[in-house]
Amino acid sequence: MKVIAIVGYKRSGKTRLAVMLIRSLRERGYKVASAKHVHHADFSIDQPGKDSWKHSEAGANPNIIISPREVAIIWRDRSINSIEDLLSLTRGEVDFLILEGFYSLVKEYERALKIVLIKKVEEAVGLKGDVIASFEDTNLSGILKLPEQYPQLLDIILTA
């Protein structure tokens, strides 16, 4: 499985690029998983008052919600502390794992291809990555201009 990590500051286009990559890889027949880091400590996919929330409040952990089209597993008081923790969730199931965010986890994980998205040149100094790209006009060589140079970025990913 190839791990592609998209990192960058707020509003740099991380989600936009993640969606582009997921769609392109799926169109080529690859199985793709994604994970998005949410910084808000109070975020929960489980909503108060719903039956699944009542199960969790009663002590179910994990709480597994199954519909005809989806399966969700909610673990309370559990966190992902390494890329290996993330990989264990999808190992053997997918060809690519697209990560949005998670910079603190991926900066030392050498097996991930790290794409740093910047809005201005100064942002590239604070983040380490294998590829630097931008949806803005930076006018610097070595920085892929998206979406125009997206095919080159996709080639880098497929041959990495």
118's CB contacts (< 8 A; 6+ apart) are 8, 9, 12, 124, 127, 132, 133, 134, 136, 138, 143
Would you state the pLDDT for residue 19? 97
In a domain, residue 71? The reply is no
The CATH number of residue 89's host domain is 3.40.50.300
In a domain, residue 145? The reply is yes
Would you state the pLDDT for residue 6? 95
In a domain, residue 54? The reply is no
Torsions phi, psi for 117 (to 5 deg): -100, 130
Q: Which structural domain range is residue 135 located in? A: 2-41+79-159
Overall domain count for the chain: 1
In a domain, residue 50? The reply is no
pLDDT in tens, 73-126: 888 877 788 888 888 888 788 999 999 988 888 887 888 999 999 998 888 776
Q: Please, which residues bridge with residue 8 across strands?
A: 117
In a domain, residue 52? The reply is no
Would you state the pLDDT for residue 71? 83
pLDDT band at 42 (very low <50, low <70, confident <90, very high): low
With H, G, I as helix, E, B as strand and everything else as coil, classify residue 119.
Answer: coil
In a domain, residue 57? The reply is no
In a domain, residue 142? The reply is yes
Would you state the pLDDT for residue 62? 85
Would you state the pLDDT for residue 159? 93
Q: Which two tokens stand for residue 64?
A: 């597994």
Read off the pTM.
0.83
Which alpha helices (H) appear in 28-117, and where do they start and end?
Answer: 51-58, 83-90, 103-106
Which residue has 């519909």 as its token pair?
A: 67
Average pLDDT over residues 13-32: 96
Average pLDDT over residues 134-155: 91
pLDDT for 153 beyond 60 = yes
